[in-house]
Amino acid sequence: MTVDGSTKTLSAARELQRKAHRIIPGGAHTYSKGDDQFPECAPPFIARGKGCHAWDLDGNEFIEYGMGLRSVTLGHAYEPVVEAAYKQMQLGANFTRPASIEVEAAAKFLSIIEGAEMVKFAKNGSDVTTAAVKLARAYTGRDMIAICGDHPFFSTDDWFIGATEMNAGIPSILTDLTLKFHYNDLASLRELFDRHPKKIACVVLEAEASVQPQPGYLQQAKDLCEQNGAVLIFDEMITGFRWHLGGAQKFHGVVPHLSTFGKGLGNGFAISALAGRSEIMRLGGLDHNHPRVFLLSTTHGAETHALAAAIETLRIYQELDVVSFLWRQGEHLKNLVQQSISENRLEGFFEVIGRPCNLVFATLDQNQHRSQPFRTLFMQELIRRGVIAPSFVVSFSHSDEDIERTGDIVHEALVVYRKALDEGAEKYLNGRPVKPVDRKFN
């Protein structure tokens, strides 16, 4: 229902959606926010958010999960962070020389990420992860990169995208330099080192995604890198400030040579970080006699209000024990969903995966195969009842009431899911199914 009880604003939103596709490739500036990622009943646009609630252009209210691709860890428009950014913004956003807040932010960050000795800030995760790869190549004098093929995304840059299905426009001379290994399979990584001796500059992986590392795996991977003269890089975009305040590296007790952070670092403000051992990081600086590395030099990399937002966000994480809250609320939601799975006889057809602080769901069809139509159906039924959930990732603003309400809505959606398994998804699904982002053709 719209604010005034009519379809006028809905029609306006659909027209704006059509305009977006005329002037923006894909209709959105982030692929995972695109129309092909959501059911046709999804609100075309979000107008505003507060806490874990979001409102569309029609005034419809939703409980939101995923929260800006996991970047809004505290909540939308979280007042202390907004106020810190606003105060700094009034002093100026960008200058000809460094601002003192750059040093303050770096010191704050390094006081939390114990294994890091130097840090450099940028605006997004792709930039800092690509910078880490460049630094590793300069440090080792090697060209090849080994990436975990089981982890979905590391960067928008050619060294990674060239290794995906969506690799149009990237020369094979670049894609041939990127190799893949499997997570929790040390032999697959060792085989790459054996097949390409003294050619691999770095190994890039998430310390943990939806699958937990086997005991000793991460340390063994680090040992293998050091034995072969390669740099170990942890992508902590998701795990940072969610698994543990000090990142997954602290959670698992394995310190990489370099690591990259973003998303939750600024509670939605654009800021990311490359951090690591000074002997490697300093190649991007002035105090060495090696060839200079053009590491990170971006016009807006040290935007002062984003740094202020990051400092305040980190302070709140520390003082309010945000990470423990994320685990607790995620566990609460997981228990409710698991109960509904059992009541609807959906074991093997609908799964909740991952740590409580970063829950995702898997949808399977009658043959227990991963299914985009059933994913679409489930999201469709959630949206109809007031929940937007491409995942079950919680924030610091998800109250017990929000979790309980979500549990009720998930149960209602899974009742429909059960019927669709018995009678066919096409009977209940309105419109086309969603598609994976990483695909060769539209």
List, for residues 237-294, the tens digit of each pLDDT value: 999 999 999 999 999 999 999 999 999 999 999 999 999 999 999 999 998 989 888 8
Confidence of residue 115 (pLDDT cuts 50, 70, 90): confident
Q: Is the pLDDT of residue 1 over 50?
A: no
Query: Is the whole model's pTM more than 0.85, yes or no?
Result: yes
| Cβ neighbours around 66 below 10 Å, total | 19
pLDDT value of residue 9: 56
Higher pLDDT, 144 or 114: 144
Which H helix or E strand runs over 10?
helix 8-23
The Cα–Cα gap between 93 and 85 comes to: 10
Please state the rounded mean pLDDT for residues 200-227: 98
For residue 206, give every residue at least 6 positions away whose Cβ sits within 8 Å of its Cβ, in sequence order, or none: 148, 151, 234, 235, 236, 237, 238, 239, 248
pLDDT value of residue 220: 98
Which H helix or E strand runs over 151?
none
Please state the rounded mean pLDDT for residues 162-184: 93
Lowest-pLDDT range, 4-8, 66-70, 113-117, 185-189?
4-8
pLDDT in tens, 381-392: 999 999 999 999
Enumerate domains of the chain plus CATH numbers: 8-64+322-427 (3.90.1150.10), 79-320 (3.40.640.10)
Q: Is the pLDDT of residue 122 over 60?
A: yes
Please state the rounded mean pLDDT for residues 117-133: 97
pLDDT in tens, 317-362: 999 999 999 999 999 999 999 999 999 999 999 999 999 999 999 9
Lowest-pLDDT range, 140-144, 148-152, 291-295, 410-414?
291-295
Is the separation of the CB atoms in 276 and 134 below 8 Å? no
Residues in the chain, how many? 442
- What token pair was written down for 304? 């002062």
pLDDT value of residue 335: 98
**Strand pairing class (272-276; 118-122):** antiparallel
pLDDT value of residue 5: 36
DSSP 231-269: EEEEE-TTTBTTTBTT-HHHHHT---SEEEE-GGGTTTS
pLDDT value of residue 438: 83
pLDDT value of residue 8: 45
Q: Is the pLDDT of residue 3 over 90?
A: no
23-32, 102-111, 163-172: which is most confident:
102-111
Is the separation of the CB atoms in 271 and 262 below 8 Å? yes
